[in-house]
Amino acid sequence: MTTEKQLDAFYGELQKLIIRYQQEFDLSDAELIGGLQMFSALFAIQSVGWCIEDEEEDDEDYEEEEEDEESEF
């Protein structure tokens, strides 16, 4: 499945979910938008955190390699 088709499927499912919540729950549009924005912000923060963790792991691996090289001499 292409990226475009995957995004279309995602958007379609997200739209269905939003419509369902509008019909089944007593939430205003502003409350739904706020919930989506909170999730979006959390997702972005987690993504940045994962990038930072990956960089820290790379730094640790590099430091271990340097220590191994020093011990060989």
Helix (H, G, I), strand (E, B) or coil at 58: helix
Is the model's pTM score more than 0.95? no
DSSP class of residue 18 equals H
**Contacts with 21 (C-beta within 8 Å, 6 or more apart), sequence order:** 27, 32
* Residue-level pLDDT, tens digit, the chain, 73 residues: 899 999 999 999 999 999 999 999 999 999 999 999 999 998 898 888 776 666 666 666 656 666 665 555 5
For 25, the enclosing helix (H) or strand (E) is none
Dist CA 55 CA 49 (whole Å) = 10
